[in-house]
Amino acid sequence: MSWTVVGQERAIDALSAAIRGDRVAHAYLFAGPAHVGKTLTALQFAQALNCTAEGDRPCGSCRQCERIAARTHADVELLTIGGVCDERDHNHASDDSRDIRVCQLRRMEQMVSRAPFEGRYRVVIIDPADAMRDVSQNALLKTLEEPPAQVVIILVTDREEMLLPTARSRARRIAFSGLPKDAIERALRTRWSAEVERAAELARLSGGRIGWAVLALHDEALLETRADTLDRADELARAPLADRFAFAGELGGRYTRDRARVQATLGLWQEWWRDILLIAAGREREAVHRDRLDRLRPLAAQCGVAPAARALRAITDARQQLEENASPVLALEVMMLALPELRTNAVAARLAT
C-alpha cells in the first residue's frame, strides 16, 4: 500500500524521512486548504508510525494498519467537534457543540499520559484544530511543549491563522497545497474510474481540492447544492436591496448554527463574482463555471471590471469579519450594500432600446 495520498509528495517525503531518520517530532501542524488530503495523511502517518511491516510503511495490511484504518486502534484518536470527554453530560451523540472543548483536551491528556497499549506510538489527530477556542488552545500548550514519550499530536487546519502563535510555534509545520486541475482529472480517471468528461468537469470545479472532487463523484447531491447556491448568487445580483437584506438576516442567523456551511456559501459566491470579473476583463477561458457562461456574460457586460472587483473584496472582507466574530447579520448587510445592483435581463433590454 504505502502512502495513497494524491499530490502531496513534499509532505509525505518529509514525514517518511522523519520516520526513517528517527526524527519524529512530538507535534505537527498540517496546514493547507480544505479537502486536499490533510486528514488522510495524518491517518496514514499514524499507520506508518505503528506499522509492523519490514518494507515500506505503511503497508496497509498488518494488524496495526488495518485497525487504524478502521478507526478501532486503541492508541490512535481523532479529536474533533462534539467528541466525547469524561464529563457525563458531553458523552452523547446529540451534543451540538461547535467547538473542541477544554474537557475533550483534558480527556486527551489523561490518555497520552499512559504508555501505548497496542502500538509503538500514541497518535492524537486534532481536526479541525481551529475549532479550539483560545482557552482550549492554552490548555493544550503544556502537552504540546512537553508531551510524554512515544506520543505524536497532529493539528489539522485549513485556517492556520485562527491558531494562537504559541500553539503554532510548538508544532512542526507541514504544508499542504491544492492540486493542479490536470492532476485531479488524471487521478479521478485512473484511481476512481471516472468518465473523461465527468473527471474534467469535477477537476475544473474542485478549485484544487481533490477530496471534494472525489466526494462529488460519488454524491450527486453535492453538485445540486452547489448549483442551488450559485442560483441564489445570480438572483441576489439582480435583487432589490430589501431582498438582499432579508437574505443577509437569514444567512446571518444560520451562521451561529453552522459556520462552515455559511463560509462555504460565501466561498462559492466569490467564485461566481470572480467569473464575472474574468469575463468582464476579457479572460473568459479562465472562468470556472463554464456551464453558466450564457448567464454570466450579460452580467459581466453590465457590471464591468471595477464593480466586480469591489464585489469580490466585499465578500472577502465579510468572510474575514465573520471569522473575527463580528455581528454576522451586520457583516453580511455591509457586504450586500457593496455588491453591484445589476438589472434583470428584461429591464436591461428595455433600457438598451
pLDDT of residue 347: 41
pLDDT of residue 96: 58
pLDDT of residue 84: 75
pLDDT of residue 336: 95
Which residue ranges of the chain lie beneath pLDDT 70? 1, 87-97, 344-353
pLDDT of residue 349: 43
CATH class, 9-175 region: alpha beta
pLDDT of residue 1: 65
Q: Report CA-CA distances (Å) from 19 to 50, 51, 128, 171, 250.
A: 10, 11, 24, 16, 50
Query: In this structure, what DSSP letter does residue 147 have?
Result: P
The CA-based angle 289-292-298, given to 5 degrees, is 120
CA end-to-end span of the chain:
66
Tens digits of per-residue pLDDT, 307-348? Answer: 999 999 999 999 999 988 899 999 999 999 999 988 755 444
Task: Classify the C-alpha dihedral 323-31-83-40 as positive or negative.
Answer: positive
Rounded Cα–Cα distance for residues 308 and 339 (Å): 8
Cell of 206: 474542485
Cell of 240: 432589490
Cα–Cα nearest to 275, from 264, 294, 288, 285: 288
pLDDT of residue 223: 94
- The beta strands (E) that lie in 15-160 are given as 27-31, 76-79, 122-126, 151-157
Tell me if the domain spanning 219-352 has CATH number 1.20.272.
yes
Q: Which amino acid, residue 55? A: G
Asked if residue 81 lies in contact with residue 100, where contact means CB atoms within 8 angstroms, the answer is yes
Burial of 216 (0-12, 13-18, 19+ CB in 10 A): buried
Cell of 326: 463580528
Q: Give the residue extent of every domain in the chain.
A: 9-175, 179-212, 219-352
